[in-house]
Amino acid sequence: MMARQSDNTRSIRARLMNNLYWGVLGGIAVIAVLAIGGLVLMANERLRQDASVLARVLGERSRAALVFADHEAARRLLDTARLNEAIERVCLYDAQGRLFAAFRALDGTSSCTQRLTSTSDMKRLRSWDLLHLQVQAPIRDDGVLLGHVVVQANRDAMYRTVANFLALFLILVVLVSFITLRRARQRLEGVLIPLHQLHDSATEMARNPLSERRARRLSDDEVGELVEAFNHMLDAIADKHRSLEQSEIRFRTLATSSPVGLCEWSPDGRAVYANPRWMQMTGLLSDALTRTHFEHNIHNEDRAEYVRAVSSAMASPGVHVVEYRYHNPFSIQDIHLLEYMAPMLDEGGRVRSIISSLVDVSAQKEAQQELEHMAFHDALTGLSNRRFFCEHLTLVLAEARHKEMIGAVCLLDLDEFKKINDTLGHGIGDALLQEVAKRICAALYEHDVVSRMGGDEFLLLLTDLEAEEQAGDIAARVMEVVSRPSRIGDYEINITCSIGVALFPRDGLDSERLIKNADLALYEAKRRGRNQAHFYSARLDARVRRNMQIEQRLRKALAEDGLSLHIQPILDTHRQDVCWAEVLLRWNDPELGNVSPAELVPVAESMGAIVDIGRWVMRRICRDLQEHRQKLEAVGIRGVSINLSPRQFYSRGLVQEIREDILDHGVEPERLGFEITESLVMQDLGLAVEIMREIRDLGCRLYMDDFGTGYSSLASLKAFPIDTLKIDRSFIMEIPGSRRDADIATAIVAMAHNLGLSVVAEGVETSAQQDFLIDHGCEYLQGFLICRPAPIIDVIRVLQGPTEHAGQGR
C-alpha cells in the first residue's frame, strides 16, 4: 500500500511538473511569436520608409534629366542607390511609361520592364512579396507629370537582423525558464511535503481513528491553512469517534438498566435484540423469539389493534403508538403496556428493522381512573362535583327539549355552618358535611343527582317531576332530614338549611342559567330568614338586573363625585330645640333617579366599595362641618353622627383614618359621633368592643343604632362603651296605638336609663308619637316631624326660619 501511495504522490508531482513545463513553454512560444511578429513589422516598416525616401529623392533629382532627355545623367543619378545595400534595383520611366534609365545591384536577379503603361502594372509596382519590397513615386514639375521612379528593395538584411535578435532572445528565454522551473520545482516540493504528511495522517487515521498523528504546518499560506483545517478535521473525527464510543457505552448501560423495555424486530418478525426490562415485562426470552409468540399473549380484544400498528410502522416512517393489555405468563393479572414503534431504514429507504420501546402503564391507568373519579367527584363526601353536575344537567336538558319533562335544580346551603367550623373545628364540620350528604341522598329518588358545590353548598337535580309543586315537597323533605339532630363525636349538632329552587323548562333550559337562578332563589331564602326554600321568579331576576345597573352607575358616580350628603336634625326634648344631626348618604343618578340607601348600601358592599364610600363620607362631612360651623352652631347643631358599615368598622386603620381626618380639617372630636348596629357588633364581640373603646378614646360619641332588631344580651350591652341607644323606627311607627310596640319602646327607654345611656327615637312622624315618647322620658327625637333630611345649607335655612317647637314641626 505504501508503494501505491508513493506512486500516487509521484504521479501527482509529475502531473504538476508537466503542467508547469508546458505552461512555461507555451508562454515562451506566445511571447516569441509576438516578439518576432512585432520585430518583423517594425523592420519592414523601416525598410519601406527608407525606400520611399530614396524614391522621392531620386525623383526630385531626375526631373532635369527627364526634361532634357539626358539618359547618362539619369543613370549616374540612379547609381547612387548602390550605397544602400538593401536596394536591389531602381527604374526610371518617362511620362509615357517608357524605361528612361535603370540601376541594378550586382547581385540583383531581376531587371526593369521596358514599359510601364497599364494600371495593373502600377499596382504591381506598389505590391510586395516576402523577399522584396517595391515603392513607386510619381515625378512632377509644376503639376506636370514627367515620369515615375520605382525602387525595389531586398528583405534579406531585415531577416538577418530578425534572426540575430531571435537567437539572442531564445538564449535569454531558455536561461530564465531554467531558473524559473528550478525555483518552481523547489517551491512545489515545499508544497507537496505537507500534502505527503496529510496523506500519511489520513492513512493512519483510517487505520486507527484515535491516532494522535498530525501533519505539521510549515507555512502561513493556503497550504498551511489547509494543514491546520485538516488537523482540526482529524481532531473532530477523533472526538466524534470517542463520543460514539461513549454513546455506545451509555446506550448499552441505559438499555441494560432502563425501566423501559427495548426490542429490535427484523422485518420478518424475529427479535434481534431485547434488553432485560423487556424480557421481564413480557416474560419472554429474546433467543429464537418471534413476534407470533409475543402476539399470542396480547389480550384478544387488543390484538388486532396491535397488528395494525405493526403494519403501519412497516409501511410508513415516524413513531407509531399502541396501547394494549398483555398477559405475562409469570403473572396472574394482565398489565397495560404502551408501545412506541419506529422503523429503521437503510440507504435505499427500505425497512431494516423495527425499534420498539415498551412501557408498563398499569399504575398510570389506575391513577388515571382515580383522577377521572376525582375530577368528577368530591373527595370529602364522595358525591359528584359541580363539573359532573353541569355536564349531566346539560344532557338532561337536551333530553328535556325533546320531551315534556319537568325538573328542578336546587341549590342547598347550610345555615350558620361557619360557626360550627369556627367553634367546633373543621374536623367536626367535615364530619357534619358527610352526614348531611348521606341524609340528602336518602331523601331523594335514585334517578335524582346530588353534587357538592363546594364548602357547605349542595346541588340537587330533580327529574321526572309530575308537577312543579313536587319540587317544593322534595325540598321540604330534604330540609326536614337535614334539620334532625346529628351526633358528631361528643357533640349533638342541630343545623338547618336554605334551598333555592329553579324549575325547567319554566326558568330556562341552560345549565349555567338554571344554577344562577337557583342561586338567586337561595339568596332570597337567606334574606328572608333562612331555614326555608324559595323558588326563582322573574321578580328576583329584575332585582338582579337592577343591582347590576346600580353597580355600573355607582362606579361612574364614585369616579365623578356623584354622591351627596344630607343631614337630619335630632330634637332635644328638654330644650325643645335641635342639638345634633345624623349624616345620611344620598345619590340622585341622572339615569336611575334617586337611589335609596336600602338599594345603594348592599350593592356597594357586594362590589367592595362600601369602605371607600365611608372614607369619602368622613372627609366630606368634616369639611362641611368646618365650612358651616358658625351657621350650624347658630341653629343649635353641635355635631353629627355617621353610620359605619360592618366592613368599614372592621377594616384595618379605621381609628387612624378618623384621627387623620379630625386633624386635617380641624374638627373637635366631640362634634363627631358614630352609629353602629347590634348585628355589626355581634360579628366579633371582642374586636368590636376594642375598636369602640379606641373611638371613644378619641373623644367621639358612639350610638347603638336600630336597637331591638339584633340579638345582643343585656350583659354584652353593658360592656359596650356607647353613649346612646337609638330605638329602631319599626317600634315607633304604631305607637301609641300598638300596646306591644309602646311597651317595647318604654322598656328600652327604661333599660337605657338604668345603664346610664340616653335614648334617641327614630321615625317620629306624628305629634302623638312625640308626646308619648316625651312623657316616657325619651331625651331625643328624630323623624319627619322634626325635620326632613336635606343638604346642610337647606337644613340651616329651614332652621333659621320662624322658630316652631317640635310639636308643630319644623
Least confident of 274-288, 381-395, 565-579: 274-288
- Mark whether 654 and 517 lie in a shared domain: no
pLDDT at residue 282 greater than cutoff 80: yes
Closest CA to 667 of 707, 633, 708: 633
Contact, 414 vs 456, CB < 8 A? Answer: yes
* 137 domain-assigned: yes
CATH number, domain of 403, equals: 3.30.70.270
Provide the pLDDT for residue 387. 92
- At 467-517, the pLDDT tens digits run 999 999 999 999 999 999 999 988 999 999 999 999 999 998 999 999 999
Provide the pLDDT for residue 217. 64
- Mark whether 503 and 578 lie in a shared domain: no
- Mark whether 14 and 146 lie in a shared domain: yes
- Measured in whole angstroms, the distance separating CA 161 from the mean position of its chain's CA atoms is 91
Backbone angles phi, psi at 337, to 5 degrees: -115, 145
pLDDT band for position 2 (50/70/90)?
very low
* 213 domain-assigned: no
Give the alpha-carbon dihedral of 581, 587, 593, 599, to 10 degrees: -90
Least confident of 17-21, 280-284, 300-304, 479-483: 17-21
**50 or 618, which is more confident:** 618
CATH number, domain of 294, equals: 3.30.450.20
- At 387-424, the pLDDT tens digits run 999 999 999 999 988 888 899 999 999 998 998 998 89
* 91 domain-assigned: yes
* 172 domain-assigned: no
- Mark whether 387 and 330 lie in a shared domain: no
Closest CA to 100 of 164, 57, 146: 146
* 794 domain-assigned: yes
- At 55-64, the pLDDT tens digits run 888 888 888 8
* 185 domain-assigned: no
- Mark whether 86 and 123 lie in a shared domain: yes
The strand order across the sheet containing 132-141 reads 99-104, 87-94, 144-154, 132-141
Provide the pLDDT for residue 806. 40
Give the residue from 316, 336, 365 where a domain finishes. 365
pLDDT at residue 573 greater than cutoff 80: yes
Which residues have C-beta within 8 Å of that of residue 251, sequence separation ≥ 6?
Answer: none
3-state secondary structure (DSSP) of residue 808: helix
Contact, 291 vs 310, CB < 8 A? Answer: yes
Amino acid at 52: S
pLDDT at residue 436 greater than cutoff 80: yes
- Mark whether 590 and 708 lie in a shared domain: yes
DSSP secondary structure string for all residues of 258-316: -SSEEEEE-TTSBEEEE-HHHHHHHT--STT-BHHHHHHTB-HHHHHHHHHHHHHHHHS
3-state secondary structure (DSSP) of residue 211: coil
- Average pLDDT in the 297-320 region? 92
- Mark whether 353 and 389 lie in a shared domain: no
Q: 762, exposed or middle or buried, with CB in 10 Å at 0-12, 13-18, 19+?
A: buried
Which run of H or E residues covers position 667?
none
- Mark whether 382 and 349 lie in a shared domain: no
pLDDT band for position 562 (50/70/90)?
very high
Provide the pLDDT for residue 386. 92
Contact, 84 vs 54, CB < 8 A? Answer: yes
List the grid coordinates of 379.
373527595
Residues 378 and 376: their CA atoms lie apart, in Å, by 7
E strand intervals along 505-625: 533-535, 564-572, 577-589, 593-595
Give the residue from 141, 161, 181 where a domain finishes. 161
Residue 341: CB atoms within 10 A of its CB come to 22
The rounded percent of the chain whose pLDDT value lies above 70 is: 89
Contact, 448 vs 459, CB < 8 A? Answer: no
- Mark whether 265 and 355 lie in a shared domain: yes
Amino acid at 719: A
List the grid coordinates of 576.
325643645
- Residue numbers of the domain that contains 131: 2-161
- Mark whether 701 and 767 lie in a shared domain: yes
* 198 domain-assigned: no
- Mark whether 582 and 713 lie in a shared domain: yes
Strands 564-572 and 780-781: antiparallel
Give the residue from 536, 559, 579 where a domain finishes. 536
pLDDT at residue 7 greater than cutoff 60: no
* Mean per-residue pLDDT over the chain, rounded: 85
- Mark whether 262 and 315 lie in a shared domain: yes
Amino acid at 385: N
Closest CA to 641 of 670, 668, 673: 673
Residues 63 and 58: their CA atoms lie apart, in Å, by 9
DSSP state of 807: G
* 180 domain-assigned: no
Split into its structural domains, the chain has a count of 4
